[in-house]
Amino acid sequence: MVAIVTPPDGARYEPGETIPLTIAAVASRNVIRVEIMLDEQIVATQPNPEPSLTFSTRIEYTPRAQGRLQLRAVAVDATGIASEPYTITLVIGEEPPASLPPIETTLVAGPGGCILTAAFVEDVSIPDGTPIAAGATFTKTWRMRNTSGCDWGEGYTIAFFSDTPMHPTGSEPIRPTPSNGVVDISVPLTAPTQPGVYTTTWRLKDPSGQFFGNRVFAVIRVP
């Protein structure tokens, strides 16, 4: 499987501006490359110099025309099998005409009307592809930055968003964090009991329960 970690869905760029894409992939038969596609055409590719179970990389793409575009990331394993694509929609240049369907993203307002945003910085623990014994408990820690124009006070949480549930309640509180501050967010998880490669995806929530900011995930391998 593969994921576009950054930029977030709905991000805006200018024509000719280079877009840095952070890609993370995992495959039980080793990732040999990741590809970025636009309209069924491969527009960028990044080989894995040492094929491995997990592969994190950065790919740059420069759009030439304005409008909405959908970029798809695909990972390819050593047998040539491609993953299901991971898609984000980006806006290039001016606001698209009103007749076009809106981007499927919701702006969440915080204190004073600021827009709540959050950016993934790095994995602090449990790198992607870490082997975890079946049924064992472990703690995943992500480092994130409050890129909102306001502070995160009491009541903010990180919550299960998609893929494999590994937490009894699917939610953990986070520490109050000032605007532009960095916070380490830890979540206790329990590995599935069957062998395989598993992903659990999480996202921040405001006190009213609305998701916002970058998705973060843990990818583990149960031997």
The CATH number for 123's domain is 2.60.40.10
Whether 156 contacts 207, CB under 8 Å: yes
Range of the domain at 137: 111-222
d(CA 108, CA 117): 8
Contacts with 52 (C-beta within 8 Å, 6 or more apart), sequence order: 30, 31, 129
Position 106 in a domain? no
Tell me, yes or no, whether 87 and 135 share the same domain: no
Q: How far is CA 28 from CA 5, 108, 132, 213, in A?
A: 20, 37, 14, 29
With 90 as the cut, is the pLDDT of residue 178 above it? yes
Position 103 in a domain? no
Position 102 in a domain? no
pLDDT at 102: 39
The dihedral built from the CA positions of residue 121, 122, 124 and 129, taken in this order, carries a sign that is positive
Residue matched to tokens 């039980």: 28
Tell me, yes or no, whether 119 and 80 share the same domain: no
Tell me, yes or no, whether 118 and 214 share the same domain: yes
pLDDT at 195: 83
Number of domains in the chain: 2
> Kind of pairing, strands 12-13 and 41-61?
unpaired
Tell me, yes or no, whether 73 and 147 share the same domain: no
Domain boundary among 36, 61, 92: 92
pLDDT at 103: 36
Assign 98 a pLDDT band (cuts: 50, 70, 90).
very low
Tell me, yes or no, whether 124 and 218 share the same domain: yes
Tell me, yes or no, whether 148 and 207 share the same domain: yes
Concatenated DSSP letters for 112-168? GGPBP-EEEEEE-SS-TTEE--TT-EEEEEEEEEE-SSS-B-TT-EEEEEEE---SS
With 80 as the cut, is the pLDDT of residue 53 above it? yes
Tell me, yes or no, whether 58 and 151 share the same domain: no
Assign 94 a pLDDT band (cuts: 50, 70, 90).
low
Shortest CA distance to 108 belongs to which of 211, 202, 216? Answer: 211
Shortest CA distance to 157 belongs to which of 199, 187, 190? Answer: 187
Contacts with 148 (C-beta within 8 Å, 6 or more apart), sequence order: 110, 114, 115, 116, 117, 118, 179
Residue matched to tokens 């593969």: 2
pLDDT at 96: 43
pLDDT digits (tens, 9 = 90+) for 110-158: 777 788 988 888 889 998 888 999 999 999 999 999 988 899 999 999 9
Q: SS3 for 40? A: coil
Tell me, yes or no, whether 120 and 214 share the same domain: yes
Position 105 in a domain? no
Q: Mean pLDDT over all residues of the chain?
A: 86
Residue matched to tokens 């890609």: 23
Tell me, yes or no, whether 131 and 201 share the same domain: yes
Position 215 in a domain? yes
Q: SS3 for 111? A: helix
Tell me, yes or no, whether 51 and 82 share the same domain: yes
Query: In the chain, pLDDT over 90 holds for what percent of residues?
Result: 35
User: Where is pLDDT greater, at 102 or 204?
Assistant: 204
Tell me, yes or no, whether 197 and 122 share the same domain: yes
Position 100 in a domain? no
Tell me, yes or no, whether 202 and 152 share the same domain: yes
Assign 100 a pLDDT band (cuts: 50, 70, 90).
very low
